[in-house]
Structure 1
Amino acid sequence: MDMPMPQQTAHDYSLDLLEGGALPLSRYAGQPVLLVNTASKCGFTPQYEELQAVWSHYRGRGLVVIGTPCNDFGRQEPGSAEEIQAFCARNYGVSFPMAAKLHVSGPEAHPLYRWLAQQGGVLSKPRWNFYKYLIGRDGRLQTWFTSVTKPMNHRVRTAIDRAILSE
């Protein structure tokens, strides 16, 4: 008889970093994480500025912001790793961790994004760039927000505050 597998958490996944190397999410066990699929040529691209503000404001309280560039929607992230990194630094002063470009939807979706969609339900699957996923200290999905909800929105900040205060 097969033993049931323990439920996975975000800490079971790893991303490749934009500048090379691996970013195991287990590194952030005990810290809340705001994960965002990003793109450089999107109407929502100015949200990078607010993501950087969220990172700057909450970093000292333990929050980690991670950008995951993807080219899945409207081919709005066509650049190389170097181009993406330069764009983010030059235009928005991005200093939070950025993953290497990956897929967030469809059959090639990164396993982390497949897990997020499973945890959040069918509506949580990214349908465009700048979907935001708040992962709690325990590695479980706390909540998610669509592209139209800006990172400094009251609902996002309230959820982050709750995730930071939870033990």
Structure 2
Amino acid sequence: MDETSAFSTEAFREFVCALFPPRKSDPASADSYRFPDPGVTFSELSLDIREKTGYSISVETLRGLYRGKNTNPTMNTLDALSRYFGVPVGDFHNTEHAQRDARQLRALVEHGRNARQAREQAQRLHELLQEDPDGELAVLLRGKGLDAETIAVLAEAVAEQIADDNDTDQES
């Protein structure tokens, strides 16, 4: 990376919006800056960066970087952002690289969101089967050819998968 290359506000926005997609009701054209506000406040982002990296970046600095009013962040700020977003420092100077890495980051975020939703649904299934083993869900499953023993095994397998997923999440 060329140490004198300019910070890319667009690259920074790509990463912020990859992790925190803009709210759907917030059209870019409504903002005088002509870009959407991210799905996180700059205060929340500042706190999250500090919690995950140990670096402190002020709300004003983050807002300025996002809106293009601050285009000369310190190396400490760049290092913190690099660690937080999991990308090389050079990506904040190269919009093409940032777009590529932001696409990957979006895919990871979406995968994580889908995994969380699947875990939540599996947890609910387990709870329903435990709360009322002869309830509507159990009757429905029996109607699909599953006997009571199979339903109990299914409930146990769901519980084990949830426990394994929770252990994996805690290790990450």
The verdict on a shared fold, with TM-score over 0.5 as the criterion, is: no
Higher strand share: 1
- Report the TM-score when normalising by structure 2: 0.29
The structure with the larger Rg is 2
- Report the TM-score when normalising by structure 1: 0.29
- Structure with the greater relative contact order (CA < 8 A, sep ≥ 6): 1 or 2? 1
Higher helix share: 2
